[in-house]
Amino acid sequence: MERRTRIDAIGASCLVAAALLLGLNQVLIKLVNAGLQPVFQVGLRSACAIVPVVCFALLARRKLSVTDGSFWPGVACGLLFATEFVLLFLALEFTTVARASIMFYTMPFWLAVAAHYLIPGERLNRFKVFGLVLAIVGIVLAFYDPNETAGDKALLGDLMCLAGAFLWGGIPLMVRTTQLSKSTPEMHLVYMVAVSAVVVLPISPLFGDLVRDITPGLIAIFAVQVLFVVSTAFLTWFWLLKIYPAAKVASYSFLSPLFGVFFGWLILGEHITIWILLALALVSVGIVFVNKETD
């Protein structure tokens, strides 16, 4: 699989589609939390995703191996994945989707800074830094509301999301700098969901009743998460990391909270304001600068 130094049209299209699904994911988690306890939802979602991911890998004849030196890095990534989502799912009990997105999608910033030091050929320059700053300002504007009053536990939820963002940033770094770089994207995701299911499901009863008020509609939403968010969007994201620079792939994650706002309006009836339109412009320009090649 040939490595590329910049995002082309195919890569950009896949990244936008993945960002759309990941943006929708924030709303879906919030909805399903009403029917399933958050930690149990994390473990069950991972367990259910194992089947479609493995089936796809076998049908597409992708290599699945734990004997290529990737086992322990894969387990470590699985633990990062599990902890990251436990933090996010619990955080959405305490804070809003908007605030969670602001904190959780700071991941590309931390990844770009780390890649500058750890991954050859992905050094930051003034254009990339400017682009990242524009995107961060765009996200802040997207959720700016001078009349909003957060709940008492919002700060706890925000800090949990920020911690999750750090952990999320560690996953692509490990994929690029360890023996996982020799594994297929499908194997990466198998490690993520398998370890997450094995670790999270046994501890989920510690966080309360597993089932709250489940309905057929919430089961359908949960199925969308399994098939399209975990099995499709995450797999696409890992595949793109094998081809394109990590910081540039991650920069498109800034679109996810904007899609989250759209789906919040569509599904939850939230309003789209002028701040959202300004944010979209800043994020778009920011991505151009992050992908700008200079000497």
C-beta of residue 187 within 8 angstroms of C-beta of residue 65: yes
Q: Is residue 295 part of a domain?
A: no
Q: Is residue 215 part of a domain?
A: yes
Tell me the per-residue pLDDT of 216-236, one tens digit each, with 9 for 90 and over. Answer: 999 999 999 999 988 888 888
Tell me the per-residue pLDDT of 44-83, one tens digit each, with 9 for 90 and over. Answer: 999 999 999 999 889 888 889 888 889 999 999 999 999 9
Q: Is residue 4 part of a domain?
A: no
Q: Check whether 279 has a pLDDT greater than 80.
A: no
Distance CA(152)–CA(103), nearest Å, equals 17
Q: Is residue 153 part of a domain?
A: yes
Q: Is residue 43 part of a domain?
A: yes
Domain count, the chain: 1
Largest CA-CA distance found in the chain, in angstroms, rounded = 57
pTM of the model: 0.83
Mean pLDDT of 253-274: 77
Tell me the per-residue pLDDT of 133-182, one tens digit each, with 9 for 90 and over. Answer: 887 887 777 666 554 545 567 778 888 988 998 898 899 888 888 999 88
Domain, as residue range, for 126: 9-290
Burial class (CB in 10 A: 0-12, 13-18, 19+), 279: buried
